[in-house]
Amino acid sequence: MYIAHSTFDVPPHKADEVIAIYRNRSKTVDEAPGFIRFLLLQNEQKPGELTVHMEWANKSDYMAWITGEQYKRIQALERQYPDPELAGVIPSFSKYKVVAQ
């Protein structure tokens, strides 16, 4: 299994707005080969810190997703978000190979 995390900080007063966006996400990724699960995590101590957690069957399925056209379209839409407080948010990425369960 392969895990991809994208953690980002939004102004705390914008956290609920971002959470709503993810609750209503297109779910395009859910149909990608090897995709297992999506979670949006909110830090209990820092409400503006959100993490997108995605589980994949393996690294090659994840790489196929992030190099594909669907992913590129989603990323382009995210960069055009009209709210200037959110448009400039830059996530940090972490990727993990599951080595024990």
pLDDT at 26: 87
Cα separation, 29 vs 41, whole angstroms: 17
Cα separation, 22 vs 17, whole angstroms: 9
pLDDT at 90: 86
The residue type of 94 is S
Give the DSSP H or E segment for 46: none
> What pTM was estimated for this model as a whole?
0.88
pLDDT at 41: 98
pLDDT at 74: 83
Domains and CATH numbers, the chain: 2-97 (3.30.70.100)
* pLDDT < 50 regions, the chain: none
